[in-house]
Structure 1
Amino acid sequence: MNNLISQSIAALATTSRRALMDAILPHAERATAVFTRLYPAAARASAAYADAMRVAGVQLPPLAGLPVSVKDLTDIAGETTMAGSTVLGGMPPAAADAPAVRRLRGAGAALIGKTNMTEFAFSGVGLNPHYGTPPNPADDTAMRIPGGSSSGAAVSVASGLCVAALGSDTGGSIRIPAALCGIVGFKSTARRVPTAGTIPLSTTLDTVCAMTRSVNDCIYLDSVIADDPLTIPELALGQVRLAVPGTVMLDALEPHVATSFSAALTSLSRAGAQLVDAPFSLLAEAAELNRFSGAEAYSWHRGLLAAHEDQYDFRVAKRIRMGSALSAADYIDLHRKRRDWIARMERELGAFDALLMPTVPIVAPPIAYLEASEDAFFKANALLLRNPSTINLLDGCAISLPCHAPGTLPVGLMIAGPAMSDAKVLAIARAAEAALRQ
């Protein structure tokens, strides 16, 4: 991993934006499969403008002139949004920026490029047969998956090419790659950020959100793209009661994940957090309820699949077609069952300030291994999606932050809560991040 950007947004306050951009862009152009499109002229112009305004004494937003990437699921005016596919190449260009992109521009961000992704965001692995798979920068000795679907987004931040990456999270697409690449990813409560101008996977579960290098930077990015900025309280870990759910979420942990998670719990406990092993048996119901993505994706894709299925990643097409089996009556009933499950889960969550769990139960597998075996791919995909997708089903919010020892493969710690508990989750995460760094 290079160190072009290894600092927080606040720490870059006096850094020349143009000098930083000139250093980054050559690396971005050589970055394997990370970007599907770059905007060098516009990025340099934004950086130069920010420098000129600062020299003139103008007070600028912290993000002004700093490089930010945008997942290629999201509209940028004048371009066709490809969503990691080739099948959309003949579609008309977007008439306007998506709201989140417009808000980033308003905060002065220098949009450096569109990032690669799993085709149509339908996988937590990050493979893309059309544009290549960006290798995980956390391991120089092996070509490992970055996680998905926001694969290029995570690598753009983890490689030091951006201070932040705009992405999406339907079943973990921000948190999975953040965990596997060793950065921070925050999935807000879905309703807080507009999803307009993004190609849908699941209209029920889609969330537009971002990943960064620190919790404070995630807090800042959320304040830029959300409808209403949060007020994050100062919170000591001695003030919180955190549940470690024993049902499903701790199953099949790889040894390094188990060891890292246990060490993280020890650090949080030493810092004063009250940790409670709680069964949360309702979590066993999540897998059967979590069927929205396939059905809703099939509704959007069925015409394209009928005409152009040969242009799809076969793994993505297979998952989308599975959604055709859900009847309208079953779909309506699924929504009713989900509402009931959320209500029961929220009653159990009322005794705690947040949930703690590993973001994913495995470390990043080698790319070649998952490319070579469909069975291995789908097994890994299911494991990667298992924990984070439960929070989407809950309509909740969650953040993944690194909890591995330096020099080892990344492991993510997920802190999660119910809908609209974003401020509390972020406050706990900020205190947890400080404890884990000690």
Structure 2
Amino acid sequence: MTLPPDPLADGLLAFEQALRAGTTTSRSATEAYLARIEALNSGLGAYRYEAAEAALADADRVDRALTSGRDPGPLAGLPIAIKDLFVVDGMPTGAGTDLDVSDIVGYTEGPLVRRLRDLGCVFLGKTRTVEFALGIAGVSSPHGTPRNPCDGDVVRIPGGSSSGSAVAAAAGLCAFAIGSDTGGSVRVPAALCGTTGIKPSQGHWSADGAFPLVRHLDTPGLLMRDPHDAALVAAAIDGITPTAIRLDRTTFAVPRDYFLDGLEPAVERAFERALEALRMRGASIREMNVLSGARNRESYFPAVLGASAVAVLGRERYAASRHLVDPVIRRRIDAGLEVTGDAILSLEWERQTTMAEAAHQLTDVDAILTPTAAITAPPLSDFDDAEIAYRHAVDLSRNSQPGNYLGLCGASVPVHRSDELPVGLQIMAAPNTDHALYGLVASIGEAISHAG
């Protein structure tokens, strides 16, 4: 079987122009992605559930609408993937677990899924997730660990918990994929797999209609290979026209401690190249002391993630079914059983204070730049050793969790060269500056691509 090319190989705008010119159809794009899924998914494991028949029917409806002069909008006909945390009509929702959580997620599509449907997107299926979205490496035993497509020789982790969405986007198994981000679960897999990941401000896109991990941190996001295309998709979801950002009128801050401690040499080199590419475009880059509250995530997340999982699942359900849970995830949830209410309140009060301090630090800069993760994607075999796996998890989450903790919007843009393992540049901006963030993603991505 000859593998059909990715229908978005020439970019989102080229596809949408061809669609409206009648030189391509949503059905042909959907058939191409379904063929790519059939050929590649058995080796990559990106999809948990495929909805070929429904996808083709949706694609035909888009084509008929365009033929009759009804244009669904800028995302018309795009075949996409949805993380298996979100309710999608006609598809099961598993949340990466063997436990029955249907009463928790419900049966009604949330605002984001409905918005994508209204914009004319075609749903190819559900992508794999770490169990309960509780894992930054993407390793999960109940439903399997997708393979990072960046390395054909060594089996490497994809990052998580939006593991399948990142792999599907990176391997050209969808136009873009929807994920969720509670502590880095869009940005980290985007960085490790070499795609763009956008995490809006908490609440900017509703997380209703999805399995909740930490309700006040959960944030839907998107993963797509090209930064400019990702910015266009995010803007279309918001119903706006993206605004170009001139880099020679931007000021970025780089925290020179904590976020840059102990970087893998390949990550450090790619990060410094990216900063130089931005300087060449006229961007002002200043050093700053560590972002207020960044280190607080070290005490906050271990307590809150486990305790929230207990609250969502319920103690009785969890006690009766804990033997079905991935051993690593089980240890994290077990720790949450011992967390007290006063401890959670104390941690949350501290978070609210540091959020205000961090917002003040961002008043005179457009964004903060860091590596998305301190390391590149490790081999999956490393996770057979619990001590090595723990060190990797710390290195993967250290730079992303502060963004959720402080309520920032953020993104990861690929900055590696074609002969290198993927590395992401993390962009963190003030809360509710999402539209400006989209412009930064597009402009920074363009600057990096032209720097070589």
- 1:236 pairs, out of 246, 256, 259, with 246
SS in 1 for 2:411: strand
Describe how 1:67-78 pairs up with structure 2 within 5 A. 67-78=79-90
Alignment-derived partner of residue 204 in structure 1: 216
Cα deviation per residue 1:201-256 (whole Å; 9 max; x = unaligned)? 1112100121112233333333454xx54554322111011000122100111111
SS in 2 for 1:414: strand
Mapped contact 1:47–1:64 kept (Cα < 8 A)? no
Amino acid at match of 1:8: G
Distance 2:444 2:265 in 1: 22
SS in 2 for 1:68: strand
SS in 2 for 1:190: coil
Amino acid at match of 1:250: L
Matched, 1:24 2:60: no
Alignment-derived partner of residue 296 in structure 2: 285
Mapped contact 1:35–1:152 kept (Cα < 8 A)? yes
Matched, 1:112 2:139: no
State the 1:55 CA deviation. Answer: 3.5
Structure-2 change in CA distance of 1:145 and 1:224 (3 Å):
same
Mapped contact 2:235–2:242 kept (Cα < 8 A)? no
Output the TM-score relative to the length of structure 1.
Answer: 0.94
Distance 1:180 1:85 in 2: 23
State the 1:16 CA deviation. Answer: 2.3
Segments of 4+ in structure 1 off by > 6 A? none
Distance 1:171 1:89 in 2: 22
Mapped contact 1:71–1:166 kept (Cα < 8 A)? yes
Aligned-pair RMSD on alpha carbons?
Answer: 2.0
Matched, 1:355 2:364: no
Mapped contact 1:104–1:224 kept (Cα < 8 A)? no
Mapped contact 2:228–2:443 kept (Cα < 8 A)? no
How many positions carry a matched residue from both structures? 435
Gaps of 5+ in 1: none
Mapped contact 2:147–2:157 kept (Cα < 8 A)? yes
Distance 2:15 2:90 in 1: 31
Distance 1:170 1:218 in 2: 20
- 1:298 pairs, out of 310, 327, 334, with 310
Alignment-derived partner of residue 260 in structure 2: 250
Query: Higher mean Cα deviation, 137-146 or 390-399?
Result: 137-146
State the 1:11 CA deviation. Answer: 1.7
Alignment-derived partner of residue 328 in structure 1: 341
Amino acid at match of 2:273: A
Describe how 1:250-399 pairs up with structure 2 within 5 A. 250-280=260-290, 282=292, 283-290=294-301, 291-301=303-313, 302-370=315-383, 372-399=384-411
Amino acid at match of 1:273: A
Amino acid at match of 2:271: F
Alignment-derived partner of residue 178 in structure 1: 190
Distance 1:242 1:418 in 2: 12
Distance 1:92 1:322 in 2: 22
Mapped contact 2:169–2:175 kept (Cα < 8 A)? yes
Describe how 1:398-417 pairs up with structure 2 within 5 A. 398-417=410-429
State the 1:369 CA deviation. Answer: 2.0
Mapped contact 1:342–1:394 kept (Cα < 8 A)? yes
SS in 2 for 1:172: coil
Cα deviation per residue 1:108-163 (whole Å; 9 max; x = unaligned)? 11100010011110011111212221111111111111110001111111111111
Distance 1:238 1:311 in 2: 54
Amino acid at match of 1:252: G
Cα deviation per residue 1:164-192 (whole Å; 9 max; x = unaligned)? 11110000100011111111100000111
Structure-2 change in CA distance of 1:158 and 1:2 (3 Å):
farther
- 2:166 pairs, out of 154, 165, 185, with 154
Mapped contact 2:228–2:441 kept (Cα < 8 A)? no
Distance 2:233 2:305 in 1: 26
SS in 1 for 2:400: helix
Structure-2 change in CA distance of 1:274 and 1:26 (3 Å):
same
SS in 2 for 1:143: coil
Identity over aligned residues, as a percent? 33
SS in 1 for 2:80: strand
- 1:6 pairs, out of 5, 9, 12, with 9
Mapped contact 2:5–2:32 kept (Cα < 8 A)? no
State the 1:321 CA deviation. Answer: 1.7
Cα deviation per residue 1:406-430 (whole Å; 9 max; x = unaligned)? 2211100011112112122222222
Structure-2 change in CA distance of 1:359 and 1:2 (3 Å):
farther
Distance 2:63 2:419 in 1: 36
